[in-house]
Amino acid sequence: METAATALTFRDATDADVDELVALIESAYRGDASRAGWTTEADILQGQRTDPEGVLAVIKSPDSRLVTVEREGRIVACCQLEHRGDHAYFGMFAVSPRLQGAGLGKVIIAEAERQARETWGVTEMHMTVISVRDDLIAWYERRGYRRTGRMTPFPYGDERFGIPQRDDLEFELLVKELA
């Protein structure tokens, strides 16, 4: 029986992965392909989620890692880990839409937390989630993250982050204590 963790390989992304990672991130969040999974933002944002420059910047940043997850030699997921003093930031999380709902996300976020703790000795993981994404926030709450009520504005007018389909978007900070 194959489980979510079956034959997953975690490694740092390289320049050669950029195009495949952009395609993965776009497929998980935007357009009709994203509707195959449950993490789609297609109803609230159109346009791009990221671009090659944005992905490459994460790969090249000295305080950041873009963790790439492979199964059978194919990239199936990724997440950004960024060292920010006493905490790490978790972002750019994407799981292939056809694999969502099978427990893969739980395995990846647990491994990301472990790596951040062991690599940087951080005691908290932070992330920001679009505040209207109730289903996604509930998923993170089940993983031990808590809502802080601390909001930051959505970058309206900057199409690198997408084209908003509503005017009430903002990011909420979620935090988890790492044991």
Residue 160: pLDDT over 70? no
CA separation for the pair 120, 139 (Å, rounded): 25
In three-state form (DSSP H/G/I as H, E/B as E, the rest C), the secondary structure along 70-124 is: EECCEEEEEEEEEEECCEEEEEEEEECHHHCCCCHHHHHHHHHHHHHHHHHCCCE
For residue 123, what is the domain's CATH number? 3.40.630.30
Residue 37: pLDDT over 60? no
Residue 14 counted as domain residue: yes
Residue 3 counted as domain residue: no
| Percent share of the chain, pLDDT over 90 | 56
- Six-digit token pair at 140? 């993170």
Residue 2 counted as domain residue: no
Residue 142 counted as domain residue: yes
Residue 55 counted as domain residue: yes
CA separation for the pair 54, 62 (Å, rounded): 15
Tell me what pLDDT residue 157 has.
76
Dump pLDDT digits (tens) for 107-121.
999 999 999 999 999
Residue 137 counted as domain residue: yes
Total number of domains in the chain: 1
Residue 63 counted as domain residue: yes
The residue range of the domain holding 58 is: 8-177
pTM of the model: 0.85
